[in-house]
Structure 1
Amino acid sequence: MPHEIALFWLVVAGFLLADNLVFVPAGCELLRFGRRGAFRYDASARLTAARREVVLLNPLNLFDRALITTRCFGDVEPRQWRQGRSLVRSALATLNGLSALGYFYMLITACLAAVSFHLPFTLVLLGFVVVHLLMWTLNTAALVALRHRLGLSGYDTFVLCVEAIFVPAYLMNMGKRAVHKKRIAISALGLGLRTLKRTDDEGERELLAIRLRERLQWLGMTQGHEVDDTCAAAPALSSTQQWISRAEACLTT
């Protein structure tokens, strides 16, 4: 019986882990933001699956969120920056509230998992179901009442609520799931270069420059914008290749 109980909780944890995997579509990139809503570009190496890159968000940090951006290259344009910031700013308070509820649910679940090895599992499971329904009701009320702040349609809200009633991990992770289909157009590498310029620590700056250079080369190669020594001297480079050349020059100085 202890093995079956452990397996049950492992399945719950496994769904939470899987729900924190973000598959980045081809031609897009990923920007992350936390409790305060500040965008940051993570240039770390990634896994690849089904021709898409995979990023694992921190499953124990319910404020570790991600947005897909449709722009990889180029400078950060003010209009697109304002649009992306406006999207996050309008939804941030609601997302933080959902994440707080998720933490409360996660804490109760951890307590139930701990006592499930000492109490009748049927009783613990009944308590888990009751807590789940209560948390689902609170989350659903928040989503329905505040869906306009999150930019969710009625259908999107319905889908999120239906999925969450069947999978506890989706309910814990609602502060991330509520924005996982949103798209912005802020240049990811442009933001990375901006962060590099503002980094004062020499060691951190050098590490970030290396990672950005590797990402720049990888994305340029996979998206058909690679700039080698031959084409770099050619007069007819695309605007994207010209920007990549300038960015590489900045990262090597």
Structure 2
Amino acid sequence: MARIAVTGTSRGIGYELVKYWAGQGHQVLALSRNEAPVLDLGLPGVTALPFDITDEKACDRVRDWIGENWTRADILVHNAGSLVNKPFGQTGTADFEMVYRVNVFGVAALTRSLLPVLEPSGHVLAISSMGGIQGSAKFPGLAAYSSSKGAVITLTELLAEEYKETGPAFNALALGAVQTEMLEAAFPGYQAPVSAAEMAKYIGDFALTGHHYYNGKVLQVSKTTP
């Protein structure tokens, strides 16, 4: 049984991850600004906490909860994400800051807070995007989002190097199109070939086992463009 903390659980992939892990008997700490959807599931072994990843004090409260209730966590999955879809000429500094606060700064802050309560043999997994992969197809309107996903990939590689002697392991998955609310915001009307539940199963399994084979790696999980 693993002890798993995951962000962005009110909808989409994060919501499906909670159900998938709970069904396997794992302990799950579901972190989202809106905890109601997970609470309504009433799943055994699942704790839902209201959480704002842009608030560093909230990150520390998560660390304290883990220390008091689990002692340590085995897995941290950074699934929360923010997206702005605007032409670059209309994308202001405030838009960039909003996206980066969630997708990059929040990932760094929560990781930093939880490192003292993460098992050295554990796994920190960042959910990135094919838009953040150098040389991949890029799309107008996603300058803030895709560049932030490139930043979190580099951050993952750096953390893996910095903690390679002590653990935990750090990896990233660069996702292609998955049928979620965020995809609809980025590509209105586009129908993805992969559902949120299908992708959650892949991510859920990789989070549990991927660090036995990879560290500091970015795996591309995509069958289409976008």
> TM above 0.5, one fold?
no
| Greater relative contact order structure (CA < 8 Å, 6+ sep) | 1
**Which of the pair is proportionally richer in strand?**
2
TM-score (normalizing by structure 1): 0.24
TM-score (normalizing by structure 2): 0.26
